[in-house]
Structures are given as C-alpha cells and as structure tokens.
Amino acid sequence: MTEPLAPPTANRLYSWRGVGLVGLCASLLAFIHFATEPTTSSAADTPGSKAKEPTIGGFPLFNQWPKQNPDAVLVLTGQTFGFLQPCGCSRPQVGGLERRGMFIESLKAKGWPVAAIDLGDIYPEKPANRDQGMMRYVTTLHAMREMGYVAVGMGKTEIEGDILRLLSGYALQKQQRPFTLAGNAQAVVDGKVFKREDYFPGPGKRSSVELIEVAKIGKIPVGVAGVVGKSLADAVKTKKLDPAGALDFVPEANTLKQAVDELAKHPMKPQIQVLIYQGTSKEAAAVAKAWPQFHIILCQADGDLPPMMPQKAGNTLIVHVGHRGQHVGVLAAYKKQDGFDFRYQLVPMEEFYITPGTEEEARKKNKVLPLLEEYAVGVKKDIRLGKDYPRTPHLAQINALGFKQPVQLTYVGSDACKACHKAEHDAWGKTLHSHAMEALEKKATRPTLRQYDGECVRCHSVGFEHTRGYEDEKLTPHLKHVGCESCHGPGSGHVAKPKDKSLLPLLSLWKNPAAKNPATEKLPDVAFMAKMAKLTEFERGKEKVPAEISRLITATWNMCGKCHDHENDPHFDLYKYWPKVRHTGLAPPGGWPAVVPKK
Ligand code: HEC
Ligand code: HEC
Ligand code: HEC
Ligand code: HEC
C-alpha cells in the first residue's frame, strides 16, 4: 500500500532560504518570500494552447534582469528520478523532459547562449523493473544530449542501480556529452584498489567517469567538476548501496584540490567554475568555504520544493532544484570588468512549455518527443507486461489461504459479477472506471503505447500488482480497465459460494473486521458526503462523526488512494468522488440472488 492519502494539502509554498541575493535588494526578497503562491497555470484548457507563462512569486520570469543578453546561461537540473513525462492522470502536473526541451529552446530563441548540467539521480529510485529503469536512464541521457547538456553527476540512484550497468547503456556506447563527472570514484575489489580511470574505462580516450569537463557557452569557457560528497560516499559503504560492492570514494578534499588545479591549468582557461556536488546543501556550504574558486555549486535538494533563490556562501552560489524535474534553475552570467554578475531564476515546468502543434509537428519541433516514443516502443517490445513486474498476493488471497479449508482466490472479471449484481454493474458501467484502459490507449499521446507499460497499467486494470491479476489484453481481457475487483479484491471464492459468510468480509477489507456486524457498516449517505464536500479541511475536522464511521471513511479513502494517490490524482477527495461511483443500496427486493439467475 502507498502512504495514506491525507486530505487535500494546503497551497504549495516555495521555500526561500536565500541569503544576500545577487542583484536584488533585501526588501524585495522579503516580499517575494511572502507573496509566493502556487504558480501552476489553472486547470481547464487544452495543454499548451492557452496555458500562461509561469510566474514566480507573482513576478514574470527574468524580472529585472539586465536588458542585454547574458554572456552565458547554465540550465541546472537534478534528481529527476527517472520521471520522463507527467502521467497525464490529473492536470495540471509539473515537469517532464518534453517541456524542459521546449523551455531550453525558448531561451536559445532569445539569442542566449545556453548549456545545461545535471546533478545526477537520473535513474529511478525504486524501479518496478530494472530494465525499464535502465531505459528511463538512457532515454534521459539521450534527451539531455539533444538539449545541450555538458555533464551529469553520479547520484545515489545511479549507484544503487549499478553504475557500471548504466554506463554501458550510454557512456560506453560512444564518447559523447553529457559526460558523467564523479572525480573521486574508484573501486576496491578483493582489497585491491582500482583507480577511476581503470575501473571506468571509456569508449574513447577518456574514462567513462571523469573529474572535469570544460565547455564553451557562447564565448565563455565554463569549467565543470563533479564530486561525490562525504555523506553519500559514506552511505555507499555503510548501507552497501553498490550492488557490485566495489565502489569506493577518495576523500573529497583530495579530489576537489585536484579539480581546482586541473581547471586552473586547463588550456581553454575556464572563466566560470561549476561544481556538481553530490552532497547536501550543508556540505556544499562547507565546500564553498574551503574552495571559493567555484562560482556555482549544484547540490542535492533539501526537499521536493526548491528555494526560489540560491544560497550564498562567500561568493559561491549554492543551487538545488527539487525533485522529479518539476523545476529547473537558470543561471545567467553577465560579464563585468572583474568577473561576472550572476542572476538566477527558478522555473516550474508547467503546461505552458508543452510543444504546440499536431503530434507530427510537435515531434519535428521537439527532439525529445521522438526519444520518448522510442522509449515507449522499447518498453512494449522488451518488457513483458504480465511477467516482468513484481506481483504480491492480495491480502484477501493470503487470508483465504489461511482458512481451515484453504481457498485459492483468483480474479474473475466484472462480467462474472454482473449476473447477480446487475444494478451495481450498471452503475459501474457508467463510470470511467469501466473504460480506464482507454485513457492509456487513446488519451495518452506523448508518448503513445502506454497500455503496454506496466508502470501505467497498474492503476488502469484489475489486480496488476497481485497474483493472477491482469497480464495483457490477450491473456486476461476480462481484467482490462478498473473493475469490481480493483476495489473488492479477487472474487472467485464469492462467485462460487455467494452465501459463504467467511468469504464476504474479504470483499470489503476496508471494513472493520472487529465491528459487531461488518455487513451493516456503510459509508454515510450522499447528503452527508455532499455536505462534507463543501467544507474546508478545518471545518470537516469540527463535524461530529462517530468514531467507527470516521475509521471507515479513512480506510475507504486509503483503498481508493492506492490509485488516486498524491502523484497521479492530487485532487482526490472521497467526499467529492465517492458519490460519482457509489453503488450502495441497489440490491433487488429480497436481496441478491444466491445462484446465477436463469435467463
Ligand atoms: C498510481 C495509479 C496510477 C498510475 C501509476 C497511472 N495512473 Fe493514470 N490515472 C490514475 C487515476 C486515479 C486517474 C483519474 C484521475 C482523475 O480522475 O482525476 C488517471 C487518469 C489518467 C488519464 C485520463 C486523464 C483525463 O484527462 O481523462 C490518463 C491519460 C492517464 N491516467 C495516463 C496515465 C499514464 C500515461 C500513466 C503511466 C505513465 C498512468 N496514467 C499511470 C491513476 C494512475
Ligand atoms: C451467484 C451470484 C453472485 C455473484 C456471481 C456475485 N455475487 Fe456478490 N453477492 C451475492 C449475494 C447473494 C450476496 C449477499 C450475501 C449475504 O449477505 O449473505 C452478495 C454480496 C456481495 C457484496 C456485499 C458483501 C458484504 O459486505 O456484505 C459484495 C461487495 C459483492 N457481493 C461483490 C461481488 C463481486 C465483486 C462479484 C464479482 C467478482 C460478485 N459479488 C459476484 C451474490 C453474487
Ligand atoms: C472504485 C471502487 C469500487 C468498484 C470499482 C466497485 N466497488 Fe463495489 N463497493 C465499493 C465500496 C467502497 C463499497 C462500500 C459502500 C458503502 O460502504 O456504502 C462497495 C459496495 C458494494 C456492494 C454492497 C452494496 C450495498 O448496498 O451494501 C456490492 C454488492 C458491490 N459493491 C458490488 C460491486 C460490483 C458488482 C462491482 C463491479 C460491477 C463493484 N462493486 C465495483 C467500491 C467499489
Ligand atoms: C485500481 C485503481 C483505482 C482504484 C482502486 C480506484 N480508482 Fe478511481 N479511477 C482510476 C482510474 C485509472 C481512473 C481514470 C479513468 C479514466 O479517466 O479513464 C479513475 C477515475 C475515477 C473517477 C472519475 C470517474 C468518472 O466517471 O468521472 C472517480 C470519481 C473515481 N475514480 C473515484 C474512485 C473512488 C471513490 C475510489 C475508491 C472507492 C476509486 N476511484 C478507486 C483508478 C482507480
């Protein structure tokens, strides 16, 4: 089960922890701090077409930046955790590589010289399938190359996902940007130390894991170094994060000194120094103090919501951009007599950046889209829906196996329920649940083929994550869409013995088994739900609701919440949604038939 779905959250607030901002006065900052409101363009309208350009704190992007073009612009991203696109389950959602691609194009269209770097943690945190995790990683790197990325870091998820395996999917194919920078990486195998260059050989002259890379952005050479911070380096050992058990890190101070030296004597003479630092913002501040040569440090996020402005440590700007690619940071450098003036803008990847035009036009315009389509084709081809994702027994299956006379429960499909529960079946047939797979087949377009991706199918079908649930449209056509058993659990036992009292509670596991009579435990009526739907969270808390009803509401909410979760349906509210799918009190006079009625 996923985390319980709390009642709707309050307005999102961007945290601001900037100190001494570049180019803006303190009073204005204080104002931004309080004025910061969610900036997501309001729902409705077709994606992209009418969406407004995002604002931050009520201010337009690049507000009060100098009139002239910046001399170099760095787009800073990180910790995307394998998120390629918003799922499209509920709108508006923020993030995705398509929008990032369009956004970077929009900067280039201003005549700005742009390059990008990424902190790492590109690989998913806990992929349901490792091969699919790899495909997400490789797709993201190809997309990054198209977007003009210079370098990426090596994060915890890459290490957990087996960095050698991941490098074989991209870095080892060809010597090409973006390069993976983690200068202090090495390996210890059977007590023998392997230097970075030896443990990570490259396809060309360079090692596949490097210390530095220098790139020209416009006319400005920019030096980038990558280092894994102490906390992550320690965790790799103490928590045994590397599946090969070999990865090891040289103390960061040694490598940072080497990086500073190598950048200083680099023939391209980099004028701006950037550090990709796989450590916390606190660690980054200490690094900034010890190595003031770095103008910018990109480090791990403190949380999902990034600060609006970089933290300043001495003259170094410490940037982190949150999780899942929902935001990107834009850092612009304006040359002045003795160095650079830096400006920073946090940008949420809202619907405004969806590629306009028909699918065909969009794919021509945005090079990320064909890559996403290629990914979808690969998932369909290489990852078998019914076989290659983990399945666990449903709690009802576990319980039924524990009976004195064990029962093996399986999924039978909604049609099997129709014979005796016609009214309930009719009610369900009128909801979108009964067509849920069509959302993947017809509505999801960028990319297409989502009905072959287990990471989507799991909530758009019956029992995908459980033993003998949905496999694919040929093997289990009766389990397509969200059916009776998506909520009630596998029903084979009940269908065979409808009057069996030991099986009935298994159909409604959200009910309290300790209740005097679980069968009579019912959600409140529609009038009550409608009344609650209109109240604020605070007002709801003041309503007097019997404890057992309150428990039932929470338990039902959580049951729905395994699909209507924060990620896929942040607007979910049981009081508003339940009336739309309700099918209580529809039993025919005399109750449901105990045997399938003859036609
Ligand atoms: C954790 C469960 C879950 C997963 C995983 C999931 N969805 Fe959904 N999806 C939902 C729910 C719940 C809704 C209904 C949201 C609503 O009614 O607001 C939905 C609705 C949709 C819709 C219909 C939106 C509309 O406007 O009608 C589309 C399209 C969709 N999902 C696509 C996807 C794709 C593509 C994926 C995989 C990348 C995916 N879903 C994965 C739960 C999920
Ligand atoms: C052969 C007829 C028949 C079929 C088929 C059938 N049911 Fe039932 N169902 C009944 C009867 C009879 C009851 C009432 C049992 C009782 O209270 O003794 C019932 C009760 C229920 C209840 C209420 C349980 C409770 O808490 O009291 C649920 C939920 C339910 N059925 C779901 C389903 C689902 C889901 C399916 C398909 C997988 C299904 N039924 C198929 C006859 C059937
Ligand atoms: C979205 C989840 C969901 C789906 C899908 C669903 N149910 Fe239910 N069902 C529930 C919940 C929740 C209750 C308990 C309602 C209550 O407490 O008043 C319920 C109650 C019932 C009851 C008892 C009704 C009563 O009057 O007490 C029956 C019978 C039933 N469902 C059958 C079905 C059948 C048959 C299907 C498919 C055609 C189905 N359900 C689909 C969630 C679902
Ligand atoms: C197995 C996953 C799953 C579960 C469990 C689930 N839903 Fe859904 N629900 C979906 C998906 C997927 C959609 C989107 C279908 C589409 O847009 O095609 C959806 C759509 C809906 C809608 C919009 C339907 C319409 O016809 O407008 C409502 C309302 C809803 N769900 C309520 C609930 C409630 C209430 C519960 C719990 C009692 C629940 N759902 C449990 C997956 C689920």
Compute the Cα dihedral for 500, 551, 558, 92 and give only its sign: positive
- Quick one: which of 140, 164, 162 has its CA closest to 152? 140
Contact 568, 87 (CB under 8 A): yes
Note the pLDDT tens digit of each residue in 150-173. 999 999 999 999 999 999 999 999
Question: What are 256's two structure tokens?
Answer: 């940072």
The CA–CA distances, whole Å, from 287 to 292, 313, 317, 578, 581 equal 8, 9, 11, 53, 55
Contact 306, 287 (CB under 8 A): no
Whether the predicted pLDDT of 39 surpasses 80: no
How high is the pLDDT of residue 355? 97
Note the pLDDT tens digit of each residue in 81-134. 999 999 889 888 999 999 999 999 999 999 999 999 999 999 999 999 999 999
Residue 77: partners with Cβ closer than 8 Å, 6 or more residues away: 100, 116, 117, 118, 119, 321, 325, 328, 329
How high is the pLDDT of residue 599? 72
- Higher-confidence residue: 48 or 433? 433
Nearest CA to ligand 3 atom 42: 487
Report the percentage of the chain scoring pLDDT > 90. 86
CA atoms within 13 A on the CB side of 289: 6
How high is the pLDDT of residue 352? 96
Q: How far is the CA of 491 from the centre of ligand 2 (A)?
A: 9
Q: Does ligand 4 have an atom closer than 6 angstroms to the CB of 556?
A: yes
Q: Does ligand 3 have an atom closer than 6 angstroms to the CB of 583?
A: yes
Q: How far is the CA of 383 from the centre of ligand 4 (A)?
A: 26
How high is the pLDDT of residue 163? 97
Note the pLDDT tens digit of each residue in 543-561. 999 999 999 999 999 999 9
At 303, the pLDDT band (50, 70, 90 cuts) reads confident
Whether the predicted pLDDT of 317 surpasses 50: yes
CA atoms within 13 A on the CB side of 26: 2
Q: Does ligand 4 have an atom closer than 6 angstroms to the CB of 533?
A: no
Q: How far is the CA of 496 from the centre of ligand 2 (A)?
A: 10
Nearest CA to ligand 2 atom 36: 417
Contact 229, 280 (CB under 8 A): yes
Residue 417: partners with Cβ closer than 8 Å, 6 or more residues away: 424, 425, 484, 491, 495
Note the pLDDT tens digit of each residue in 383-405. 999 999 999 999 999 999 999 99
Nearest CA to ligand 2 atom 3: 420
Q: Does ligand 4 have an atom closer than 6 angstroms to the CB of 2?
A: no
**What does the alpha-carbon distance between residue 599 and residue 584 come to, in Å, rounded to a whole number?**
25
Whether the predicted pLDDT of 27 surpasses 60: no
At 49, the pLDDT band (50, 70, 90 cuts) reads low
Q: How far is the CA of 440 from the centre of ligand 1 (A)?
A: 8
Note the pLDDT tens digit of each residue in 460-487. 999 999 999 999 999 999 999 999 999 9
At 26, the pLDDT band (50, 70, 90 cuts) reads very low
Q: How far is the CA of 564 from the centre of ligand 4 (A)?
A: 7
**What does the alpha-carbon distance between residue 140 and residue 158 come to, in Å, rounded to a whole number?**
13
At 20, the pLDDT band (50, 70, 90 cuts) reads very low
Mean pLDDT of the chain: 91
Contact 59, 32 (CB under 8 A): yes
Question: What are 25's two structure tokens?
Answer: 């006065």
End-to-end C-alpha distance for the chain, whole angstroms: 40
Whether the predicted pLDDT of 31 surpasses 70: no
Which residue among 411, 511, 592, 598 has the greatest number of ligand 2 atoms within 8 angstroms of its CB, and so is best to mutate?
592
Q: Does ligand 3 have an atom closer than 6 angstroms to the CB of 97?
A: no
Q: Which residue has the tokens 């007590």?
A: 191
Whether the predicted pLDDT of 57 surpasses 90: no
- Give the residue-averaged pLDDT of 2-8: 35
**What does the alpha-carbon distance between residue 359 and residue 363 come to, in Å, rounded to a whole number?**
6
Q: Is the peptide bond before 7 cis (omega within 30 degrees of 0)?
A: no
How high is the pLDDT of residue 116? 98
Backbone torsions φ then ψ of 4, nearest 5 degrees: -60, 145
Q: Letter for the amino acid at 594?
A: A
Nearest CA to ligand 3 atom 1: 487
Which residue among 2, 438, 568 has the greatest number of ligand 1 atoms within 8 angstroms of its CB, and so is best to mutate?
568
Note the pLDDT tens digit of each residue in 135-156. 999 999 999 999 999 999 999 9
**What does the alpha-carbon distance between residue 541 and residue 216 come to, in Å, rounded to a whole number?**
58
For the chain, the residue count is 599
Lowest mean pLDDT among 29-33, 214-218, 445-449: 29-33
Q: Which atom, in ligand 2's list, is nearest to the CA of 499?
A: 18
At 13, the pLDDT band (50, 70, 90 cuts) reads very low
Whether the predicted pLDDT of 28 surpasses 50: no
Name the CA radius of gyration of the chain, rounded: 27
**What does the alpha-carbon distance between residue 147 and residue 101 come to, in Å, rounded to a whole number?**
6
Q: Does ligand 3 have an atom closer than 6 angstroms to the CB of 421?
A: yes
